[in-house]
Structure 1
Amino acid sequence: MESTAVDRPDEMRELWDLALRAAHAGGRSVTGPAGRSGAVEWKSSPTDPVTRADRDSDARIAALLSAERPEDGVLSEEAPERPSASGLRWVVDALDGSVNYLYGISHFAVSVAVEERRGRDWTPVVGVVHDPVRRETFSAARGAGAFRGGDRLRVSDPVPLPRALVATEFSYRADSRARQARAVSRILPAARDIRSTGSSALDLCWTAAGRFDGYYEDELERWDWAAGALIVREAGGVTSALGGGILAAGAAAHRELRALLETPAGAP
């Protein structure tokens, strides 16, 4: 497959528009009643659910993308990967925050990103995260800025770590959680406070919007962060790889968080 580049403003606008429509289509599947009866199976562990809403949202998004962009690839949490014949692919998390949804906690989102192939790498060019409960839609296109609806977003920066509200999430595997708890023990005394909301996509968007001053998680899949990371960068933030996940913040907080997160286990 050859590399491609999305360079024309009209093409970028078309992709951005479709990503918005896809995220809202998925959102219409997750605004119904939530609760334990929605679970249909489990993924990585007995604490990692898939609900009917996950599947319904993914099916709606897939149908829209197949109808309008049949040559593009699709990388989705809920279905086998569809290879790309165009050099573009869609990265979809049809319901980010499934545990929240299962418990009736109104904090979850639909995440849709468009990536282009450049050499051996995939690079996000459009990202949309739709919060159907708050009716907030966060979006960005490469070089065009990041927005909540029509309002431009900007990360909070500079914020010294002692005044920073930091978000993080945790793996569903017990051994990973033990390691992640040790990281929290380094961050918590140094920061204003820590939050764990249950949605990585919204953590990233809230960082872009200045509701959080930073976010980190070291075990993620690409659909967890592809859209949100672009939104953070277009809001003036910095993102970098952290294990199998991501660290995102304004430049000042990013430096301080990176230093703490790279501290060897057991070090003072």
Structure 2
Amino acid sequence: MALGTQLAELAIDIAREAGELARRRRSEGVEIAATKSALADIVTEADREVEDLIRSRLSVERPDDGFLGEESGAERGTGDVTWVVDPIDGTVNYAYGIPSYAVSIAAVIGEPTPAEWEAVAAVVFNPASGELYRATRGEGAWLGENTRLVVNSETSPAGALLATGFGYDPATHAGDLARVARVMPLARDLRRAGAASLDLAFVAAGRLDGYFERGLQPWDHAAGALLVTEAGGIVGGAGEGGTASSTLTVASGAPLFDRLLEAALDG
């Protein structure tokens, strides 16, 4: 079995177990553990518990691999593979009981930075809906067992259905809103669902035409980006070599990508 397929199968198994733990903790009630970059940027006890579960499973199954997680940071492995994990992407949604959150797990090869790694396997799992998105490099992207994902190759004359997000630091809101204003001439409407991994999965599935956001960290987009590219789309931004970065991440089908990137970068 090819390495990517092995890693994808492991990621699926772990994501389902981690998602069930997150769903169960949500039903029991959410306890806020801390704030991160701003008062609105929260961490729940479940975030930490779910990441601990994922890290523990990986340490048993693949002890030589590295790990880069939102809650517990980075640890280099002795092998070539690093796991990039967001245990609960969309924590604020999760805390409020909004069923738009996900376990995001990607396996990458190379240096643990987006400009230098190659993602080889990815899973995004929404425990609230039961939808599991998966991708293996060179083998396409899928929803569940049999639904192959394909990005939209054309946009309506009415414009593109786009998604974005906003940072938690109030100082960034004016810039984010200015970016939205520049992009809106391309759009028929805008969605803001609150979980980057699911926004990217929706681009891969053709539920959205495109997505753009400032402020994403590697664990926010590592899995979702592979879904998009394996579904025939493009992911890029303002990072080294035009890669996705915290300055800007953009994803869409090829006909829209350059226009969306230009509008989102302008200014």
TM over 0.5: yes
Q: Distance in 2 between matches of 1:255 and 1:161?
A: 17
- Residues 139-160 of structure 1: CA deviation (Å, up to 9, x unaligned): 1011100000121000011215
Change (3 A) 1:229 1:104: same
Q: Distance in 2 between matches of 1:11 and 1:258?
A: 33
Change (3 A) 1:227 1:11: same
Runs of 4+ that moved beyond 6 A? none
Change (3 A) 1:119 1:155: closer
Change (3 A) 1:88 1:37: closer
From 145, 148, 155, the counterpart of 1:152: 148
Once the two structures are overlaid, the 10-residue window that deviates more, 178-187 or 157-166, is 157-166
Equivalent AA in structure 1 for residue 194 of structure 2: G
- Residues 111-169 of structure 1: CA deviation (Å, up to 9, x unaligned): 00000016982211111000111101001011100000121000011215742110001
**2:47 is matched with which residue?**
54
CA contact (8 A) 2:237 2:261 kept: no
Following superposition, the deviation at residue 226 of structure 1 comes to 0.4
Residue 170 (structure 1) aligned with residue 163 (structure 2)? no
Following superposition, the deviation at residue 34 of structure 1 comes to 5.4
Once the two structures are overlaid, the 10-residue window that deviates more, 27-36 or 209-218, is 27-36
**1:25 is matched with which residue?**
17
5+ long unaligned stretches in structure 1:
1-8
**1:135 is matched with which residue?**
130
**1:234 is matched with which residue?**
230
Residue 16 (structure 1) aligned with residue 32 (structure 2)? no
**1:256 is matched with which residue?**
259
Aligned runs of 1:43-82 on 2, under 5 Å?
Answer: 43-82=36-75
- Residues 15-38 of structure 1: CA deviation (Å, up to 9, x unaligned): 111111121121012112359742
Residue 96 (structure 1) aligned with residue 96 (structure 2)? no
| Aligned-partner SS, 1:206 | helix
CA contact (8 A) 1:161 1:257 kept: no
RMSD: 1.8
Q: Distance in 2 between matches of 1:216 and 1:222?
A: 15
Equivalent AA in structure 2 for residue 19 of structure 1: A
Q: Distance in 2 between matches of 1:85 and 1:108?
A: 32
Q: Distance in 2 between matches of 1:161 and 1:183?
A: 22
CA contact (8 A) 1:35 1:103 kept: no
Once the two structures are overlaid, the 10-residue window that deviates more, 220-229 or 118-127, is 118-127
CA contact (8 A) 2:85 2:104 kept: yes
Using structure 2 for the length normalisation, give the TM-score: 0.91
CA contact (8 A) 1:34 1:103 kept: no
CA contact (8 A) 1:58 1:78 kept: yes
Matched residues, number: 256
Percent identity between the two aligned chains: 38
